[in-house]
A and B are shown apart, each in its own frame.
Chain A
Amino acid sequence: MDPQTYQSTGEMLRNLLTLAWLLPLAGFVLEVFAGYWSHRLSRAAAYSAVFCIAAGFVCSFAALMYWGHQTHWSALESHASPADHHDVLKYFSGTYYTLAEFGKLRIAIDYHIDSLTLVMFTMVTLIATMIHIFAIGYMSDELTEHYEDHQVHTAHGHFHRPGRFYMFFAYLSLFSFSMLGLVLAGNVFQVFVFWELVGVCSYFLIGFYFERKSASTAANKAFIMNRVGDFGFLIGLMILWTWFGTFQFNERVESDANGRDVVMPGLFDMLRDDHGNVTVLPANDHDSYARVFLADPGHSGALKHEGHKEGKTMPYFLLVVAGLGIFAGCVGKSAQFPLQTWLPDAMEGPTPVSALVHSATMVAAGVYLAGRFYPMFLPEVLLTIAYVGCITLFMAATIAVVATDIKRVLAYSTISQLGYMMLGIGVGGWTAGLFHLITHAFFKSLMFLCSGSVIHGCHHEQEMPKMGGLIRKMPITAYTMLVGVIAICGLAIPGISIFGIKIAFSGYHSKDAIIATAMTFSQLNGSHFLLFVVPLLGAGITAFYMFRLWFYTFIGQPRDHHVYDHAHESPVVMWAPLIVLSFFAAFVAFKGEAGSLFKLLLDTEPASVAHGLHDVGLAGDLNFPSHVGIEENHKAAGLYALLVAVMGTTLAYLFYGARVLNPAEVKRQFAGVHNFLVEKWQFDILYDAAFVRPVHVIAKWFVAFDRNVLDGFLHATARTAVSIATLDRRFDETVVDGLVNLVGNVTYDAGRSLRYVQTGRLRQYVMFIVLGVVGIWIVMRLFAA
């Protein structure tokens, strides 16, 4: 691609994606200020929100098509390997607006567009459009002046309030804007800003029914748990800012004062060379730390390295800490162990929110960032990511087995699948992890919407033990849900293929890719065999709990006739998105790793991934699999995964479909384990005992300190002031006032007594004068002598 075409393509993509990004913001402003003008029965807010996000989808899709056209779909060519044409610039980046500049340091609003951005944009806008449309139906009971909340009890019966239909769509629009901004961001600081924005939208949406205590508590919990992770994020940002002096992902060309172009390196360019390798300088006699070489032509007086490249070094462990810090943010946002407890509680929000924010997009932002930031992660960090993902996927899957609330099962399933993605990224399967992110977004949003349809149809009944046999009442929901369930379980028909294409839904391909990578990784690093065994086992558990959910809800005899009799299929505005999403859930990963989606993602894969890494890490004993290595294991891994999934499905069928086995019996036999799982591995209890209670105790101490010491001191001061003031008042009243009054009284009395002399008789005055003169004369005579 020649430079001119490159530039015009970049501008076109930027314009399209900026439009897609800002439209929901315009929608938000419109809905907040004009969403409710005269009455609350208007659906105008919903229509404007749907229009904005749908137009965003059109723009995103157009951008994807345009990009493909301009690159002649080179990403989709069968031998396209990122390492083969790394000289071609595959991303478009630039600056919208510079917020601040401190010498060489600068903070800006940037954009960074590559195939990952385009795929994410298209996925987010498509799913969001579907969910917006679904929400028109689901939230329609808010279209009233007197919404009765059956879950809030007041002294006068149920709580009544005006409907908040327009607010819901305003929040959704704001969320869409924030999420798209996060994906479009060209530097990690901007990511952090939108990271917090999606967090606050999540807070609003979880707490949408904020009159319910459970909802407001859940919103707080989500927000606080995320703060814990974001603290790590901030530490990571500080380290990067200190040592790298930039937040930019990739290099940026800037004109200096003389009009010459100067290349300002980004984070990735500084750490990695053209082949994606990190230069580690081991500890020696002069330096007790191992150090990492950072290429940095911008700094003078730096040491030279590797063919006249200038740069500096930073301690290895600090880069590990920075990576772990950024990953801590991802842990919070993606509900990974040990910050996973907020996501199940977040199901207090309306179901479209659970579908959009808490399964498909926002929680996947953690995985997205881990993928986007992959080049900054050193092998030790990747290993941590893999283990965190591994623990999370297993733990959440086991809890999902015993959960009875339909949305909670899906929530734990989401956590578990996010664990898979993290694991995939951690073991070096960059494309596999993000591939699963996209496919999961489709089938999980589909399943959440189906559960929403069930909840809507059953009049807000969420407990699966009260459902059953609903396939007869709501067939569309049941069959679309089945598509989602098969997709997440990764079921396929082995051996048979039509025109060389496997008969399988999207989840099969993506989970396969992850498990194949994990298998290769564990072969290369024998001591980390758990990273393969656990996800394989997890695949079986996934199949079990997903089919358990489906059988429980849709098959068999109705367990609660009251619920069953009133159940009904949802209106078309709700089931149409289900059909669309089920299509994508089934076929988005069409042809698997030979398909277009995987190839698109592969195009963005960091250069270091394709050929694997050998004997890396500080101890030099970590190996990351190459594409070739993974390819060798692919068949075997796929077979194992499928076998385990089929076993899980069969088991679920025996328990809940055919009812040959009795779940109650098993529950009784393993009561201890069951309780442990029902208590969510006791994490809530643990955190309650470890953090919440101590905080309460300390808070009580501070209250007592405040009451007794601080208040006492203040009261004593106040009392002293009052008594001094009293004394002062007495002094004023007696001494000062007394003196003034005395002078006044004396003068007054004198005047008063002298007034009797003023008789007004002229002759008397003359007499006084005469007598006075005589008197004076007598006195003078007496004293003069």
Chain B
Amino acid sequence: MEGVGLTEYLVVAGILFVSGVVCMATKRNAIGVLMGVELVLNGANVNFVAFSRYTKLGLDGQVISLFVIVLAAAEAAVALAIALNFYNNHLTIDVDRGDELKG
């Protein structure tokens, strides 16, 4: 039986990524959107780690995925602060209500 290869990892990452995008595109709740973003980022992380294991990328892929995790944490902190402010102003976190700047 063949072991688990790069393709399987990429498939899992693709599923994660697509799930994240679909989550971002369908959720009206700001927190849900943020969750979608986390999924997308983690999909990318799986890709990096898989490439570092199976290609010549080496440790670089794992370092980048660590950076992405740090960035995701920072992004989440900022985004949650935005969400809090958004709630203060609109008494809801429905992102469709934030359309004051539309053309």
Using CB atoms and an 8 Å cutoff, list the residues of chain A in contact with chain B. 754-763, 766-767, 770
Q: How far is the CB of A257 from chain B (nearest CB, A)?
A: 96
Query: How many contacting A-B pairs (Cβ < 8 A)?
Result: 37
Q: Which residues of A contact B96 (CB under 8 A)?
A: 761-763
User: A763 near B25 (CB under 8 angstroms)?
Assistant: yes
Specify the chain A residue showing the minimal Cβ separation from B40.
Answer: A766
Specify the chain B residue showing the minimal Cβ separation from A767.
Answer: B25
- A763 to B94 alpha-carbon distance, docked (Å): 11
Q: A767-B25, A770-B21 are in contact. Are A762 and B103 (CB under 8 A)?
A: no
User: A762 near B33 (CB under 8 angstroms)?
Assistant: yes
Q: Which residues of A contact B28 (CB under 8 A)?
A: 763
User: B95 near A759 (CB under 8 angstroms)?
Assistant: no
Q: How far is the CB of A775 from chain B (nearest CB, A)?
A: 15
- A297 to B21 alpha-carbon distance, docked (Å): 123
Which 3 A/B pairs are nearest by Cβ-Cβ distance?
Answer: A760-B99, A755-B103, A760-B102
User: A763 near B99 (CB under 8 angstroms)?
Assistant: no
**B67-98 interface mask toward A, CB cutoff 8 Å, 1 = contact, 0 = none?**
00000000000000000000000000001101
**B43-77 interface mask toward A, CB cutoff 8 Å, 1 = contact, 0 = none?**
00000000000000000000000000000000000
Q: Which residues of A contact B103 (CB under 8 A)?
A: 754-759
User: A763 near B102 (CB under 8 angstroms)?
Assistant: no
Specify the chain A residue showing the minimal Cβ separation from B97.
Answer: A760
Q: How far is the CB of A753 from chain B (nearest CB, A)?
A: 10
Specify the chain B residue showing the minimal Cβ separation from A764.
Answer: B25
Q: Which residues of A contact B2 (CB under 8 A)?
A: none
User: A760 near B21 (CB under 8 angstroms)?
Assistant: no
User: A760 near B98 (CB under 8 angstroms)?
Assistant: yes
Specify the chain A residue showing the minimal Cβ separation from B36.
Answer: A766
User: B100 near A760 (CB under 8 angstroms)?
Assistant: yes
Q: Which residues of B contact A767 (CB under 8 A)?
A: 25
- A759 to B97 alpha-carbon distance, docked (Å): 11
* Contact-size category for B: 10 to 19
User: B25 near A770 (CB under 8 angstroms)?
Assistant: yes
Q: Which residues of B contact A766 (CB under 8 A)?
A: 21, 24-25
Tell me whether B4 is interfacial, beta carbon within 8 Å. no
Tell me whether B1 is interfacial, beta carbon within 8 Å. no
Q: How far is the CB of B52 from chain A (nearest CB, A)?
A: 24
- A767 to B102 alpha-carbon distance, docked (Å): 16
User: A760 near B101 (CB under 8 angstroms)?
Assistant: yes
User: A759 near B102 (CB under 8 angstroms)?
Assistant: yes
User: B26 near A762 (CB under 8 angstroms)?
Assistant: no
- A534 to B50 alpha-carbon distance, docked (Å): 148
Q: How far is the CB of A504 from chain B (nearest CB, A)?
A: 124
- A757 to B101 alpha-carbon distance, docked (Å): 12
Q: How far is the CB of B77 from chain A (nearest CB, A)?
A: 19
User: A758 near B101 (CB under 8 angstroms)?
Assistant: yes
In the assembled complex, 15 residue pairs joining A and B whose CB atoms fall closer than 8 Å, in A order, are A759-B99, A759-B103, A760-B98, A760-B99, A761-B96, A761-B99, A762-B96, A762-B98, A763-B25, A763-B27, A763-B33, A763-B96, A766-B21, A767-B25, A770-B21
Q: Which residues of B contact A761 (CB under 8 A)?
A: 95-96, 99, 102
- A48 to B21 alpha-carbon distance, docked (Å): 114
- A755 to B26 alpha-carbon distance, docked (Å): 23
- A376 to B43 alpha-carbon distance, docked (Å): 128
Q: How far is the CB of A735 from chain B (nearest CB, A)?
A: 34
Which of A757, A758, A763, A770 lies in contact with B95, CB distance below 8 A? A763
Specify the chain B residue showing the minimal Cβ separation from A751.
Answer: B103
- A766 to B25 alpha-carbon distance, docked (Å): 6
Q: How far is the CB of A742 from chain B (nearest CB, A)?
A: 23
